[in-house]
């Protein structure tokens, strides 16, 4: 077992153990965009047990014709809205 988490509908895998050594550095820092496709929006909303509309309204910003995950102020920079600070 490689320790990676896979989710149907996502084009990548995630190693949750990486967060232990990273301490969230990939989720915080300078302001930027995390673009999400329509397919990713639907898959994330489903995973969070939300309607697509609710997920978009609460967690995404529309920049021109695309959506990005919201960021919040964090320690003099910004963090992904999903970053668990605890």
The pTM of the full predicted model, rounded to 2 decimals, is 0.71
As for how many domains the chain has, the answer is: 1
- Helices (H) and strands (E) counted in the chain, each on its own, are 3, 8
pLDDT surpassing 90 at residue 81: no
Residue-wise pLDDT tens digits, 8-66: 777 777 777 776 777 677 777 788 898 999 999 999 999 999 999 999 999 999 999 99
Q: 82: pLDDT confidence band, cut at 50, 70 and 90? A: confident
Q: Is residue 69 part of a domain?
A: yes
Q: Is residue 14 part of a domain?
A: no
Q: Is residue 4 part of a domain?
A: no
pLDDT surpassing 90 at residue 76: no
d(CA 86, CA 5): 22
Domain of residue 80: give its range. 27-86
Q: Is residue 59 part of a domain?
A: yes
What is the structure's pLDDT at 86? Answer: 67
Q: Which residues pair with 78 in a beta bridge?
A: 29, 73
Q: Is residue 6 part of a domain?
A: no
Q: Is residue 3 part of a domain?
A: no
Cα separation of the two ends of the chain: 28
What is the structure's pLDDT at 10? Answer: 72
Q: Is residue 20 part of a domain?
A: no
């Amino acid at each position: 077992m490689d320790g990676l988490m896979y989710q149907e509908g996502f084009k990548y895998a995630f190693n949750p153990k990486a967060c232990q050594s990273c301490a969230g550095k990939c989720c915080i820092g300078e302001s930027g965009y995390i673009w999400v496709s329509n397919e990713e929006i639907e898959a994330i909303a489903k995973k969070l047990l939300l309607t697509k509309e609710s997920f978009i309204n609460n967690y995404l910003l529309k920049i021109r014709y695309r959506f990005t995950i919201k960021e919040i102020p964090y320690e003099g920079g910004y963090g992904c809205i999903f970053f668990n600070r605890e």
